[in-house]
Homo-oligomer: A and B are copies of this chain.
Amino acid sequence: MIAKRYKAAKLLLAVDCIIIGYDEDDGLKVLITKRGFEPHKGSLSLMGGFVQEDESVEDAAARILHDLTGLEGVYMEQMHVFSKPDRDSEERTVVVAFFALIDIKKYQNQMSTGYQSKWFPINNYPELIFDHGEMVEMAKERVQYRAAQHPLLLELLPGKFTIPQVMRLYEVLYNVKFDLGNFSRKIISTGLIIKLNERDKANSKKGAYYYKVDEKKYQEGFRRFLNFVNKPQFKTKN
């Protein structure tokens, strides 16, 4: 056994998972659960728990999400560390908040009803314990920022989609209303989507054309600002 030479106070490290789901018919939602341990057992909170000795924070987040929802294989990313000394009323606990943006329908079958977690509208969720409300608000900003960076949010759109579908996604993300004519003109003028020779007739008699992303232009467009730097070679050490 190695002698422990570090002399510093230890603390509890936890993870909380902010799972934002998009439901085409029903908007953006956040997954909330009932806290399963004292104090405040039964209060509404994000899904969270303590990091164990033999796991990374990523391991802990995946384990906790699975334990509390049955969900597996959800891609989560580190969002922010919340560490005010008094953020948890019980005992000092530093939290690494994880964030995921998922298509609710894709995971619907995995989430069985035996769990205590539930989706709430992101603009109308109940009060949460500690600073969990602050975490949800930060995640919401993250989604909006991401939409500004990656305008088509590929993770949330099917391979082919109609313009009304994209518009609904943006309306939900930014909590605004668009005019379909204006929105269509503007999104088409980005040059990032390709019209397919096929219509969705489920939602209107005339039908809305399907589009797909022009992957090549999309990638280029994302780097548009950098286009005066011609394919820089990222030379890194190692």
Q: What is A's interface to B at a CB cutoff of 8 Å? A: 2, 4-6, 8-13, 37-39, 50-58, 78, 80-81, 83-85, 89-94, 96, 123-125, 133, 137, 140-141, 144, 147-151, 170, 174-176, 178, 182-183, 186-187, 189-190, 221-230, 232-238
Contact = CB atoms under 8 A, between A and B. Distances in A.
Contacts of A89: 2
B13 A227 contact: no
Nearest to A4: B91
A124 B237 contact: yes
Contact of A85 (B54, B91, B96, B226): B54
Contacts of A53: 9, 11, 85, 92
A194 to B, nearest CB: 16
A238 B133 CA distance: 9
B78 A56 contact: no
B81 A96 contact: yes
Number of copies: 2
A183 B123 contact: no
* Shortest 5 CB-CB contacts between residues of A and residues of B: A186-B228, A8-B50, A10-B10, A174-B232, A56-B83
Contacts of A133: 237-238
Contacts of A2: 89-91
Given A78-B80, A83-B56, A232-B174, A225 B50 contact: no
Which of A53, A81, A189, A236 counts the most chain B CB atoms within 10 A?
A81
Nearest to A123: B237
A85 B55 contact: yes
B12 A93 contact: no
